[in-house]
Amino acid sequence: MTFAKILAVATLFAIGTSVSARDLHKMLPIKDALEAPAAQEKLDKKVRLYFVGQPHPRVEHKIGEWSTNKKTNSVGKSVEAACNWAFLSAMLSLQERARGEGGNAVIDIKSNYKGIETDSATEFMCGDGAIVSGVAFKGTVVKLAN
């Protein structure tokens, strides 16, 4: 193999390794994700979402705690766009679980990215890689008083 070929292969390997290894952890605003047009269109207004520390009506019945872990393709998307899409997917999953369990809300939602809990009523943790972005959440499904 010529020196030029060896150099080219080494360069491609170095680029590929650094791209696949990228794993940024970024805190993003919950408000922006909830107000995105896709979220406004798709989220079920009958199944309310409350992040940790947010006030909510009295809990009539606690059903259980569930987790969700959602990923999305991030190629060609901004960090915010990719993370907000993964966030929406996770919230839809929590709402589906609440409906299936007979709940009308998910409370105390917190980020749980790579098993590290982040308690915030205003921000969520997103992992952004070269190809995939992802979020993970925990929340408690409940039946709230109306």
The domain spans of the chain are 23-144
- Whether 16 shows a pLDDT value over 50: the answer reads no
- Whether 123 shows a pLDDT value over 50: the answer reads yes
Query: The domain 23-144: what is its CATH number?
Result: 3.30.110.70
Q: CB within 8 A of 90, min separation 6: which ones?
A: 68, 69, 70, 135, 136, 137
- Whether 106 shows a pLDDT value over 50: the answer reads yes
- Whether 124 shows a pLDDT value over 50: the answer reads yes
